[in-house]
Amino acid sequence: MKFLDLAKVYIRSGAGGNGAVSFRREKFIEYGGPNGGNGGRGGDVVVEAVDGLNTLIDFRYQQHFFARNGQGGMGNLRTGADGEDIILRVPVGTEILDEDEETIIADMTEVGQRVLLAKGGNGGFGNAHFKTSTNQAPRRANPGQEAIERTVWLRLKLIADVGLLGLPNAGKSTFLAATSNARPKVADYPFTTLHPNLGVVGVDGVEFVVADIPGLIEGASEGRGLGDMFLGHVERCAVLLHLIDGTVDEIAEDYETIIGELEAYGEGLADKPRITVMNKIDALDDELREMQREFLEEVTGGPVMFMSGASREGVTEVLRALRAQIDDDRLRRNAPEIDEEDDAWRP
């Protein structure tokens, strides 16, 4: 399945049906009177967040969504049928933006959340509605309300607990593949990851979601490389995991490059809780490890952890550090429960 995180759609609600002008014409009823029915209501355009989707690819092949109009009223006081609603099903984490791509109409953060984007028009009144004691044969009816037409943008921001950051080939995809069932592409050349990947990681009986985004390079905020277009997918994360290749010579400059791009992007990313990890330590001896750690701690002003995604050295410690930064209500616990009555284990 291809990944798409931005889509432009055109929507239109249904117009209301017109009211009818009609009179009773039975042979033996002397004063028949008006019997024109009301028009039906037009359909709404609704957006709904559903489970099981992680891309907006469906909106690449269909961009126009028009709800049905309400039917007009008929004689014998018959009301026209209502128009059917149109439901746009989007992944959880989708933002609905106005045509200017800045004004947020809704943020779909929960499964089952529904938002009305365009309300259908009400049906017009038939002439029976206007009958009064002084006007017993009205010959007018209301037209139905017009449809609402608008253009909106759908922007997906994946909902994950941990966001992976780093330069290309820092080992982000290797870490995700080693700790989850996700199978991102891993190779020895830059920009192996071309779109975000999600993986569910478990440690000490709990699980959380990790998001891997394409690597950043210096000038990404100005469009270099793949740019910073995917940083929006880590805006919702509780903690960022900054991986740095421990085998490079200028390790402190690599760290400052990523931090500079976060600050240029804004949206509070530079202020999020962040864990700095020196990766690929399986290729370093003990003396070089400590030397590289000293360089990093000097520029970060905080502790630096060791890890190797390939050999899994230090991976568990990193996962525990991430878990400590995630709120308890965001963790999914998998530990078995004990029945208090018979002390039997339940899977």
Confidence (pLDDT) at 342: 46
Whole-model pTM: value is 0.74
**Annotated binding residues for GTP:** 166-173, 191-195, 212-215, 279-282, 308-310
Confidence (pLDDT) at 190: 55
pLDDT lower than 70: segments of the chain: 1-2, 182-195, 215, 217-229, 328-347
Confidence (pLDDT) at 86: 94
Residue 112 burial (10 A CB sphere; 0-12, 13-18, 19+):
exposed
**Annotated binding residues for Mg(2+):** 173, 193
Spatial distance between the Cα atoms of 67 and 43, rounded to a whole number of angstroms: 5
**Annotated binding residues:** 166-173, 191-195, 212-215, 279-282, 308-310
- CATH C-level class of 162-333: alpha beta
The sheet carrying 114-118 orders its strands as: 86-91, 45-50, 114-118
Confidence (pLDDT) at 254: 83
SS3 301: coil
Confidence (pLDDT) at 245: 84
pLDDT in tens, 48-91: 999 888 788 889 889 999 999 999 999 999 999 999 999 999 99
Q: Residue with structure tokens 């270099």?
A: 224
The answer to whether residues 244 and 296 touch, using CB atoms and an 8 Å cutoff, is yes
> Which of 209, 180, 296 is CA-nearest to residue 244?
296
Amino acid identity for residue 210 in this structure: V
Report domain extents, the chain: 1-156, 162-333
pLDDT in tens, 157-171: 887 888 888 888 777
Confidence (pLDDT) at 84: 94
pLDDT in tens, 225-245: 555 667 777 888 888 888 888
What is the fold, at CATH topology level, of the domain defined by 1-156? Spo0b-associated Gtp-binding Protein; Chain: A, (2.70.210)
pLDDT in tens, 183-205: 665 655 555 566 677 778 888 88
